[in-house]
């Protein structure tokens, strides 16, 4: 009984998942785009401009109110779909099961739909999904966003991985504002906070010889246990 028990426990330990590691995180509390944890770069995309570092009250940042990064200067109505926003670039070398998350606050006249994309070369982007915001009456809260890249080809163990969050047309084929009763405007703002890219350490797969050594060791342990009982 002892030998199979030892073997099962050892093989289970080899299969345990790694804990998620934060590869890069921006909390913007120092009022700049320098990454605050890990390694990475943040940038404007397609002509947007920074409109300040403003209150992060209501975001998931444990430091409250903290600060968020506001961007503006979106495209004219009906033009340049999915070309303006912000990007975040990291290396995922040595990591898998990549996750991308952030908190987003829309002003009432800002684009209500945001498209999340990813690229391994910074040129060709794969669309991962769209989030659409409708602000509650009289309020512009932060909303939590997250995207799981498990199973996305090329996202794991990449020298460079770039995420983009860009304004996109709504169902009507044009930009739609974030609040009912408000009109879309190019000077509307998006405010990012707690932008985080994470992953699991890629576990090395033991070579067949390693399994043989493991089993030999377990056999020796079982033999010693039987001798003690004898």
DSSP state of 46: T
Percent of the chain residues topping a pLDDT of 90:
77
Stated pTM of the model: 0.82
CA 84/CA 167 separation, integer angstroms: 6
Q: Among the residues of the chain, which ranges form H helices?
A: 2-15, 208-229
pLDDT band at 151 (very low <50, low <70, confident <90, very high): confident
Higher-pLDDT residue of 78 and 209 is 78
Mean pLDDT, residues 101-120: 98
Sorted by sequence, the CB contacts under 8 Å of residue 153 that are 6+ apart come out as none
Q: What is the pLDDT of residues 186-222, one digit of tens each?
A: 999 999 999 999 999 998 765 555 445 545 554 554 5
In three-state secondary structure terms, 164 is strand
111 contacts 134 by C-beta, under 8 angstroms = no
Handedness of CA 59, 42, 178, 116 (dihedral sign): negative
Q: What is the pLDDT of residue 230?
A: 54
In residues, how long is the chain?
Answer: 230
pLDDT band at 52 (very low <50, low <70, confident <90, very high): very high
Cross-strand bridge partners of residue 163: 88, 118
With CA atoms as reference, report the closest residue to 214 among 2, 8, 1, 10: 10
CA 56/CA 144 separation, integer angstroms: 13
Q: How many helices (H) and strands (E) does the chain have?
A: 2, 12
Tokens 């804990």 locate to 19
Q: Is the confidence at residue 117, as pLDDT, over 50?
A: yes
pLDDT band at 72 (very low <50, low <70, confident <90, very high): very high
18 contacts 3 by C-beta, under 8 angstroms = no
Q: What is the pLDDT of residue 137?
A: 87
Tokens 């009912």 locate to 180
């Amino acid at each position: 009984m002892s030998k199979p028990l030892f073997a099962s426990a050892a093989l289970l330990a080899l299969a345990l998942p790694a804990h998620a590691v934060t590869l890069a995180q921006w909390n913007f509390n120092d009022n700049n785009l320098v990454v605050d944890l890990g390694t990475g770069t943040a940038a404007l995309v397609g002509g947007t401009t920074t409109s300040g570092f403003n209150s992060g009250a209501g975001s998931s940042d444990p430091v409250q109110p903290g600060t968020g990064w506001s961007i503006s200067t979106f495209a004219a109505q009906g033009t340049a779909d999915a070309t303006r926003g912000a990007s975040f670039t990291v290396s995922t070398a040595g990591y898998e099961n990549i996750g991308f998350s952030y908190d987003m606050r829309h002003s009432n006249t800002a684009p209500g739909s945001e498209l999340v994309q990813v690229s391994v070369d910074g040129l060709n982007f794969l669309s991962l999904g769209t989030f659409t915001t409708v602000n509650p009456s009289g309020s512009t809260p932060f909303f939590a966003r997250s995207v799981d890249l498990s199973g996305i080809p090329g996202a794991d163990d990449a020298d460079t991985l770039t995420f983009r969050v860009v304004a996109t047309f709504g169902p009507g084929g044009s930009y739609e504002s974030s609040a009912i009763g408000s009109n879309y405007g190019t000077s509307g703002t998006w405010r990012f906070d707690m932008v985080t890219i994470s992953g699991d350490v890629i576990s090395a797969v033991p070579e067949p010889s390693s399994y043989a050594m493991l089993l030999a060791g377990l056999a020796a342990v079982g033999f010693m246990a039987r001798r003690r009982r004898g």
